[in-house]
Amino acid sequence: MAVKRVLVTGATGQTGAIAVQKLRERSDEFEVVSFVRSEAKAQEKLGSLEGVVIGDMKDRESVDQAIAGCQALVILSSSIPVMKEPPQPGQRPEFEFPPGQTPEDIDYNAQKTLIDAAVAAGIEHIVQIGSMGGTDENHYLNTLGKGNILIWKRRAEQYLIDSGIPYTIVRAGGLIDEPGGRREIVVGKDDAFFIPDSHMPHKLPRADVAEVVVQALREPNARNKAFDVVTREEGEAPPTSDFAALFAQTTPGL
């Protein structure tokens, strides 16, 4: 089997760094290209500069250079709100986005640039990581920094589907920093896990998201699927090991 060259954006993020490590561990299947803005942060988060390309995903020329020769793209980048200042007692914190790093900039326009470059480069598969909650325009996350982050993410998902490139859109639940491989992974659609009588937790270890990314690149029936993903509580059910069966439960389209 030929080794698949994969470009990963957001590679120095908390989830991205785990995904890169998991892909590196499967060197017989994948060659990883980590697309980052900071060499120092890449060294810190990834442990080495192996396969690291420095660039800006908002810059088409930079993206074209990074994506050359790749067969797959994993989009793990996301805008991140920052707290304006510590809140006073009893007050909610206020957030903002750094200049040029708003959800419209990063979660939509930059992703459009990535997808357009992928089309031009003949990329065979894009795995895009988003967030649950996109069906509700009044979701709390949209209020952070007045950024409408879930709305922009949803538009980028539709842009990917319309591009014609085979896609896997993974909308993650509430990310937690716990070991992966210990929980049953559950997939759904249209934020059904938020329905009160669904009795489903919304937690998802970052390591399990990273594993879903790796398996989506490996399993043919993960292609042209979009789904929400959470996990059951540890010990509540056997951990997921059959990812072909998991992806068989997913469906195409937003």
Active-site amino acid positions: 131
The answer to whether 185 and 246 are in contact (CB under 8 A) is yes
Tokens standing for 206?
Answer: 């970052």
The answer to whether 217 and 125 are in contact (CB under 8 A) is yes
The answer to whether 67 and 121 are in contact (CB under 8 A) is yes
Question: Rounded distance, CA 129 to CA 190, Å?
Answer: 15
Q: Which residues lie across from 54 on neighbouring strands?
A: 36
> Which residue matches tokens 């959470």?
230
Question: Rounded distance, CA 239 to CA 236, Å?
Answer: 9
Q: What are phi and psi of 150, to 5 degrees?
A: -70, -30
Could you say which DSSP state residue 63 is in?
Answer: H
Amino acid at 235: G
Instruction: Find the DSSP H helices in 47-166.
Output: 60-67, 103, 110-121, 140-143, 149-163
DSSP string, 197-227: GG----EEEHHHHHHHHHHHHH-GGGTTEEE
Residue 64: name the closest of 119, 122, 117 by CA. 117
